[in-house]
Amino acid sequence: MTEPTSNDVVLKVTGVSKRFGGLQALSDVGITIYRGQVYGLIGPNGAGKTTFFNVITGLYTPDSGSFELAGKPYEPTAVHEVAKAGIARTFQNIRLFADMTALENVMVGRHVRTRSGLLGAVLRTKRFKEEEAAIARRAQELLDYVGIGQLASFKARTLSYGDQRRLEIARALATDPQLIALDEPAAGMNATEKLQLRALIDRIRKDNRTILLIEHDVKLVMGLCDRVTVLDYGKQIAEGTPDTVQKDEKVIAAYLGTGGH
Ligand SMILES: Nc1ncnc2c1ncn2[C@@H]1O[C@H](COP(=O)(O)OP(=O)(O)OP(=O)(O)O)[C@@H](O)[C@H]1O
């Protein structure tokens, strides 16, 4: 394998701090993710993982930090701006349009990248209709890609939990993101669904896409990720390959609750 170069950096985040009242939720946290990597963010409950995710994706305003996506600075000031910049995310608590079909849910994701706009939609111009047909085709391809193509016409709420998570991933992919941020994708999944999820994430990586994930299932993270950051009480206590991180004494202590807190 060739060494990644700075041109391959997808996300570079440095010096992120965030305080909630008296609580320092993040202290000077930074990560660099290269194209084609699966990057894991782990840590005990309350370590700051979700806060870090929310900062990167524009839900929380950080007290400090600088952000670069594919070589361009971006300000994570609002969720839609972050989506436009090229980060798509899924949520710990699935956020689909429950009464829309699977296909429609993916089409909504794709609209971030369309050009006809509202006026075209109201007037139902030729260009709008062509664009809609292309979006529907692409949405179907993405459903096939994540393995639920046969469920395209089913309402999202009728899908199994695992399939809803796949649908969320398809919707994220629909925006053609630089980075896909997955918030606990394996939460609530059974062992078979976890294996399928792992295969899907592997496939997405093979297609040279880049993934950041928060995950409680340490085994899944260690088996899947190229690099891992471990947070504990808002501090980055380790960063590296799963092998090195797993052996790190601070990490072992944090997970066993003997970190001296
Ligand atoms: N909006 C908020 N207001 C106040 N405190 C918050 C807020 N969001 C998070 N916190 C606090 O910040 C700390 C970090 O929380 P965060 O949810 O980021 O941790 P986490 O690592 O994602 O935990 P978990 O694994 O339990 O989801 C916690 O002490 C939490 O109570």
The whole-number pLDDT of residue 111 equals: 66
Q: Whose CA is nearest to atom 11 of ligand 1?
A: 25
CATH number at residue 71: 3.40.50.300
**Residues 236-249: what's their mean pLDDT?**
93
* Confidence band, pLDDT 50/70/90 cuts, at residue 78: confident
Of ligand 1's listed atoms, the one at least distance from the Cα of 47 is 21
On whether residue 61 sits in a domain, the answer given is: yes
| Strand runs labelled E in the chain | 9-20, 23-34, 38-42, 64-69, 72-73, 87-89, 179-183, 211-214, 227-232, 235-240
Residue bearing tokens 């976890």: 194
On whether residue 171 sits in a domain, the answer given is: no
The whole-number pLDDT of residue 187 equals: 85
**Residues 143-171: what's their mean pLDDT?**
94
The whole-number pLDDT of residue 228 equals: 96
On whether residue 152 sits in a domain, the answer given is: no
Average pLDDT, the chain: 88
The whole-number pLDDT of residue 132 equals: 83
203 contact partners, CB below 8 Å, separation of at least 6: 145
On whether residue 146 sits in a domain, the answer given is: no
The predicted model scores a pTM of 0.88
Closest Cα partner for 235 from 34, 59, 66, 46?
46
The whole-number pLDDT of residue 202 equals: 94
On whether residue 198 sits in a domain, the answer given is: yes
CA of 51 to the centre of ligand 1 (A): 6
The whole-number pLDDT of residue 260 equals: 44
Tens-place pLDDT, residues 23-70 = 999 999 999 999 999 999 999 889 999 999 999 999 999 999 999 999
On whether residue 182 sits in a domain, the answer given is: yes
On whether residue 106 sits in a domain, the answer given is: no
Q: Whose CA is nearest to atom 14 of ligand 1?
A: 48
pLDDT at 5 over 80: no
Strand partners, 68: 12, 73
Overall domain count for the chain? 1
Q: Which domain holds residue 58?
A: 6-86+177-256
Length of the chain: 261
Q: Please state, in angstroms and as integers, the Cα–Cα distance from residue 7 to each residue in 21, 82, 182, 206, following that order.
A: 38, 21, 24, 19
On whether residue 62 sits in a domain, the answer given is: yes
Distance of CA 38 to the CA centre of its chain: 10
